[in-house]
Amino acid sequence: MSLATAIVPPPKRSRLSRLWRWMKSDPRAVLSIAYLAMLVIVSVMAPVIAPYSPTEQDVSSLLLPPDGAHWLGTDDLGRDVLSRLIWGAPNSLYASLLAVSVAIVLGVPIGLLIGFIGGWLDDAVSRFVDALLSFPPIVLAIAVTGALGIGLTNAMLSVGIVFAPVLARLVRAQTLVVKNALYVDAARGFGASTFHIIVRHIVPNAIQPVIVQITLMLAIALLAEASLSFLALGVQPPAASWGGMLARAYNYIEVAPEQMYAPGFAILLTALAFNALGESMRVALDPTMKRR
Amino acid sequence: MHRLLALIGRRLWQLLPIIVFATFVVFSLLQLVPGDPAVTLAGDYASKERIEEIRHLYGLDQPLLVQYGVWLLHAVQGDLGRSLLSSAPVVDLIAQRLPNTIVISTYALILAAAVGIPLGVLAATRTGSRIDGLVTSIASLGVALPSFWLAIILVIFFSLTWHWFPATGASSFMADPLRALWHATLPAVALSVGVIAELARQVRSALIEVLNSQYYRTLRAKGLGPGAMLWKHGLRNVSVTMLTLLGLQVNRLFSGAVVIEAVFAIPGAGSLVAYSAINKDFPVVQGVVLVLVVIVILVNLAVDILNALLDPRAAA
């Protein structure tokens, strides 16, 4: 570095330049956000983008390898694989968001409540949360789905129910930390109401790890959806889903193994993007964590 | 010895509410089914008389807590009811299927410990190096990788292309251990990848914490060699963490096993629960879930006790 560059005064940081600095410092997050944005656009535009109908069958072209007309080939019913892959995106995103929303709606208030009130209620609910966390998550989700009735919405409700205790435990722990902080004592001393303390002090200060956990949970929910759809408990035919596509293509693996790649990569990339975003947020939100 | 017994007693006492809640959750699964449980249990096309008979047989005309008590009493005695599909005792079905799940899960856990822990140690002792970067990347990939997809890819290459391992089925470990392991290799590898990633990550961060601690610096100042330091002090201090981590993975392994068993057509507990859930065979679903959660709880109890033996501070 020459002297001339060293004496240039630091540039005024506009919002745009701050954004640029962030993008340069964390390319992983930028890539993930770009990929997820693309996925959202594809989901919304699926009817326009998809070259064929995802459910239209063509018995004259079964299990075709990729070519000019069908970029990813056709499945065992002659349906265009690329179109099904595109139509799988909204289903997968809907599934992940639904499951995580259910987990938030159930888990966050319970965690806040037991963390704040404490006492026997906390003891009892915490043991219940521990009990739920002892179950293998997918196994419990399968059992609950079987009971509620098979289908994507019920499957994701089940996954959300299974995830809720994770959030409840996290929010409870965060609430306990903040509850005993000096500034909360001070607020109480000034006569703040319980509601005011929870909304104005506990939630904003406890929320950061929760946001990170929620992002990471989107990835787990996506993988859970793929698993349940692979087992025929999730998305029902003829609707398209990445896990369901893998299940169907698996029956013809000896004839058309190439059909196994695209849906798997779609699941992997999306899960990676959610995870990378979560990790980046963990670093960005945590002032004590050193940037690598 | 006396101390150990006291410890086990204390842990069991702490576990009691968790076991009660967990069994209640399993029992309540039937209550989640929309409609009348008696109609559900009687199956399709049951006559009115049959439904009433079922209602009485299962005690569904009793208050809920009484039903739970009766169900639990039967379960403890090894009576989990009968399958609605095959009318075989649920316990027999589970006894047939569970060993296959245990074989692939244990195999996967051993693989994961053998690969994941050294990877974590390697990365922690060389933070910021290329190896560390590689391990961290592999771990990120492994966490996001759908295990059943990996299983399918393994089948494409190792079964269909190179014919090294069978693509489907399982074989009894008691009858022919080597053959059973040969069958279980691809499922176990697919199952282990997520666990390897998790172990590598967690062991790395736990060990980094120890390596950066004050006493570790003191040891170095006293002139202890790096190898002796790592073995006698570094790893010893994370051994409790490692055991706890391994215990927590059982949960993840059983979850993965459900889908992996479907890929390899393994008649295991996981494929049994999926099949039964689809076919509304609720006594079987409840039975499998109950057995799996009890195994998870017992494994973690065993880990707790081992930890207490390794580190007296943990016994408190």
Question: Domains of chain A by range and CATH?
Answer: 21-46+74-291 (1.10.3720.10)
Residue B310 scores a pLDDT above 90: no
Neighbour-count burial for B139-170, b at 16+ CB within 10 Å, e otherwise: bbebbbbbbbbbbbbbbbebbeeeeebbbeeb
**Three-state DSSP class for A290?**
coil
Tokens of B167: 């693509």
Are B290 and A136 in contact by the 8 Å Cβ rule? The answer is: no
Does B66 contact A at CB distance below 8 Å? no
**pLDDT for position B315:** 58
Instruction: Please indicate whether, in this complex, the C-beta atoms of B278 and A146 are within 8 angstroms of each other.
Output: yes
Say if the ipTM goes beyond 0.85.
Answer: yes
Number of H helices, E strands in chain B: 13, 0
Range list of H helices, B167-235: 177-211, 214-221, 226-228
Instruction: Please indicate whether, in this complex, the C-beta atoms of B262 and A231 are within 8 angstroms of each other.
Output: yes
Please give the angle made by the CA atoms of A138, A139 and A142, to the nearest 5 degrees. Answer: 85
Question: What whole-number distance in Å separates Cα of residue A225 and Cα of residue A244?
Answer: 9
User: pLDDT tens digits for B198-217?
Assistant: 999 999 988 888 888 887 78
A4 CB burial (10 A radius; 0-12, 13-18, 19+): exposed
Range list of H helices, A194-260: 194-196, 203-230, 242-250
Q: In chain A, whose CA is at the least distance from the CA of B25?
A: A132
Question: From the CA of A262, how many Å to the nearest CA of chain B?
Answer: 11
Residue B113 scores a pLDDT above 60: yes
Question: What whole-number distance in Å separates Cα of residue B50 and Cα of residue A62?
Answer: 47
**Residues of chain B above pLDDT 70, percent:** 98
**pLDDT for position A143:** 95
User: pLDDT tens digits for A74-131?
Assistant: 888 878 889 999 999 999 999 999 999 999 999 999 999 999 888 999 999 999 999 9
Residue B191, CA atoms < 13 Å, CB-side half-sphere: 34
**pLDDT for position A1:** 47
User: pLDDT tens digits for B33-86?
Assistant: 887 878 877 777 778 888 888 888 777 788 888 889 989 999 999 999 888 888
Instruction: Please indicate whether, in this complex, the C-beta atoms of B274 and A130 are within 8 angstroms of each other.
Output: no
Instruction: Please indicate whether, in this complex, the C-beta atoms of B143 and A276 are within 8 angstroms of each other.
Output: no
Are B276 and B285 in contact by the 8 Å Cβ rule? The answer is: yes
Across A203-217, B95-109, B286-300, least confident range: A203-217
Provide the whole-model pTM.
0.89
Gyration radius of chain B's alpha carbons: 24
Q: In chain B, whose CA is at the least distance from the CA of A227?
A: B259
